[in-house]
Structure 1
Amino acid sequence: MKKVVLMALALGLSLPAMASEKVIDMYKSENCGCCSLWGKAMEKDGFEVRTHVMNDQALSALKEKHAIPAGLRSCHTRLPVI
């Protein structure tokens, strides 16, 4: 009986982590349309995309905060869901 309870508890605790693997937070420029296409492609692949529209200054600050190298920056950024 203890094994069943422990297994159920372990599974229950891991479900939120498994669910968050399919969620994407996408931060995108308010001035670009291609970001929406990328988001739709991710949804087609089974991800839930949470879109955050930002002005260019705020988006640049977000990329600085997360130390995204200048050569890898684009009009949209995907950050892991925590």
Structure 2
Amino acid sequence: MTDATTTPDDEAGENALHLDADKTRDDLEETLDEIERRLTPAELWKSTRILYAERPLVVLGAAAGAVAAVGGLVFWAVASVRGASHRNG
């Protein structure tokens, strides 16, 4: 038969599990705080300036790609709306 009461060994294992979960939770909180800090506008601007000083072509290429992507999306949206209005009437 099995006994539903916990033995000292079970309690020790459960405490170790809780300590491990607490440590993991603290590590995750620390990681998320670091990500949040790095994604602030001031930090992003600082990183961009440093990268531009070291490798300007990479930054200019990324900026050109972003502009092209946004321009393509705007063109697609306008063309979709204009195409739909011509088909309906």
Same fold (TM over 0.5): no
Tell me which of the two structures has the higher relative contact order, counting C-alpha pairs closer than 8 angstroms and 6 or more residues apart. 1
Larger helix share, 1 or 2: 2
The TM-score normalised by the length of structure 1 is 0.32
Q: Which has the larger radius of gyration?
A: 2
Normalized per residue, the structure richer in strand is 1
